[in-house]
Amino acid sequence: MVSVSPKITKVGFIGTGVMGSSMAKHIADAGYELHIFSRTKSKASELIEQGMIWHDRPAEIAEICDVVITIVGYPSDVEELYLGEGGLVPSAKQGAVLIDMTTSSPALASRIYKEALIKGVHTLDAPVSGGDIGARNAALSIMVGGDRQTFDAVLPIFERMGKQILLQGGPGAGQHTKMANQIAIASNMIGVCEALVYAKNAGLDLDVVLQSIGTGAAGSWSLTNLAPRIIAGNFEPGFYVKHFIKDMGIALDAAEEMNITLPGLTLARELYTKIADAGLAEKGTQALYQAW
């Protein structure tokens, strides 16, 4: 096996969206030379103004960078980006590390790992939790799948973006852990929304209710961070409804492969699909409240 590049100086970042732009800034602030690509160049204008180096093709980044980080939309995007013609795996230099932080398919993560190994390239699947707030505050939870040696080599980069960073196991383990995370969030969001609907119809002051239940056994990240947005009528995305529906589909497919049923997740997907069909796919996950 080809070892990881001994000195990491050039880092590529592909996907500078709601979360990716903050993550890229934290890495650049650590002194790494940042090379970036996004499907819409105008959305990366602020990063370019800050000195990050724009490339017109992802392959150009893979050819020169020691580490390339990606956070894109869907498993189909990941597959094309990594394994397609001119993709990251065939373009990356030997010893490079490719880190996919998209929430994607565990099976695809394992496939990318195997294809990359043949090329002398290392990969990690490292999806995150914490949304736009976690990305902005460098406080993401990062769930990693892959080899220990590769994980240890890039840990300083992970530490620029997150607080809870754990190697969960081999290839695909990071994605399986993220599925567990999304399953917990999905049913919890139903509870958060129903609690607020109940409290509102009971004539209670929602802000005062939140002060009480948020510090007790009902407390959760969603209740603390997203319930105030619901109360304020703010449904703008920290994490898109359309992407959450995608994640729930991945989890349900994986559950079917393991011959298990997840009724809470099934209900949550039905409710989220309902609001997406009503035109809320581009809103944040807290927009589930509007299903009621």
Segment 103-117, tens digit of pLDDT: 999 999 999 999 999
**Residues 185, 129: one domain?**
no
Q: What's the rounded mean pLDDT across residues 254-278?
A: 97
Assess whether 178 carries a catalytic annotation: yes
Identity of the amino acid at 80: E
**Both structure tokens of 245:** 């529906």
Q: Is 81 helix (H, G, I), strand (E, B) or coil?
A: helix
Of the candidates 153, 110, 146, 112, the one whose C-alpha atom is nearest the C-alpha of residue 126 is 146
pLDDT at 149 over 70: yes
Measured CA to CA in angstroms, residue 255 lies from 76, 144, 172, 180 at distances of 20, 20, 14, 10
> What's the rounded mean pLDDT across residues 186-197?
98
The CATH number of the domain holding residue 248 is 1.10.1040.10
Pair 115, 235 in one domain: no
Determine contact, residues 230/284, Cβ cutoff 8 Å.
Answer: no
Last residue within a domain, chosen from 145, 170, 195: 170
pLDDT attached to residue 170: 98
Same domain, 165 and 27: yes
pLDDT at residue 131, rounded to an integer: 83
Q: Looking at residue 166, which CATH number applies to its domain?
A: 3.40.50.720
Same domain, 189 and 85: no
Q: Would 100 be classed as within a structural domain?
A: yes
Can you give the pLDDT at residue 5?
65
pLDDT at 126 over 70: yes
* Count of domains for the chain: 2
The domain boundary residue, chosen from 119, 154, 170: 170
Tell me the sheet residues that pair with 68.
Answer: 12, 98
Same domain, 235 and 163: no
Structural domain of 252: 176-291
The whole-number average pLDDT for the span 211-220 is 96
Can you say whether the dihedral through the CA atoms of 71, 75, 90, 5 is positive or negative? positive
Distance CA 53, CA 82 (A): 21
Q: State the Cα–Cα distance between residues 15 and 71, nearest whole angstrom.
A: 5
Instruction: Mark which of 170, 188, 203 sits at the end of a domain.
Output: 170
Question: Taking the C-alpha atoms of 229, 235, 236 and 241 in order, what is their torsion angle to the nearest 10 degrees?
Answer: 120
Domain annotation covers residue 2: no
Query: Of 10, 25, 178, 246, which one is the catalytic site residue?
Result: 178
Together in a domain, 47 and 144: yes
Same domain for 88 and 162, yes or no, is yes
> Average pLDDT of the chain?
96
Is residue 207 one of the residues assigned to a domain?
yes
Give the predicted TM-score (pTM) of the model: 0.92
Among residues 35, 7, 20, which one has the least CA distance to residue 153? Answer: 7
pLDDT tops 90 at residue 177: yes
